[in-house]
Amino acid sequence: MTERQTVLIRVTGPDRPGITATLMTVLDDAGAGIDDIEQIVIRGHLTLGIAVDIPEGRDLLKEVLLFGWEQGVEVDFEVISDTPNAIEPGHVVTLLGPSLSPAELADATGAITASGANINRIVRLSRYPVMSYELLVHHGDGQELRTNLMRAAAANPGLDVAIQREGLGRRAKRLVVLDVDSTLIQDEMIELLAFEAGRLEEVSRITADAMAGSLDFEASLRSRLALMAGLDVEAIDRARARLRYTPGARTFIRTLRRLGYTVAIVSGGFTVFTDRLRDDLGIDHAFANELEIVDGRITGELLGPVVDRARKAELLREIAATAGIPLGQTVAVGDGANDLDMLSAAGLGIAFNARPMVQEAADTAVTVPYLDAILFVLGIKREEVEAADASDSTAT
């Protein structure tokens, strides 16, 4: 039996159609086999690596160098082991920020190195509304990797880091459950009502304490709502008219629905707002507290059980069970103490512009002010989103 050796061929240079096809023909004519191949083009510049298995004594040097000269690319060779290294599933690290400077990237990649891990691949996910890159990382201790990367993010206010286990689970997410106040929208529903009632300052103070976790949510909600007693339904309409979506919210929901996700909102706010959001955005499920309204006025009381911290987690589980979706394939997004149980119950809990205590408890944190940046954490590229939007626009 003829012995063979494995050679790594590296091709670099200006890209144009036909380079890879021509090289494959050269290799086929030489009787070579393909063991591995990867190719990437950056700004029109090709980098192609091919591990080829060739019969011992067969000299590919002339054929491949002639190919490089004819194609105007550089070619080099290296004899390598014929046994590929077995690589255990690693981690996917997503880096996000307004610009991502060399210093920020140095801190993040240095944190990976300090964890004993190695970067196998880097892919750009977006340039807008933020820069984001996905790094495939292998080896090293997972907990140390997370700790070091979180330390790097804390030292760089413009850097967000998301860390997930590599594998099918990461690409199998099917349900996204979102908080509403200061997540899907920029406002707090109860503060929109408080403005109409002339009690905004008092209500805002209680809201801040509740979201920080220093007050019981239900007690604080009922005390704030009592200040709205007597407010008429016309005030609700005016409050809804002032509601502001978080930048990127429509893109985020539209893309999730296009990908076949089930999307739900669960809120400690009120159904008079969330029902409108559900209908406007085409969301599958919406749960919130129901205001008691008698003779066209808010009484200051609620109907039914309160959607609090525990209830949000229960709703996530119920929605997932109804849709037949395992909890490992769910994503929860929120910003306050009221979201902690929900973030913990989900397969991936994302703290979005959240309080420090929530960021520390969540699987990952996103601090850029664009909700659609979460798409990049899910591995979705901005170009794919824009191409889908353009296709829909052309179709209509």
Active-site amino acid positions: 179, 181
Among all chains, which residue has been given the structure tokens 């030292």?
155
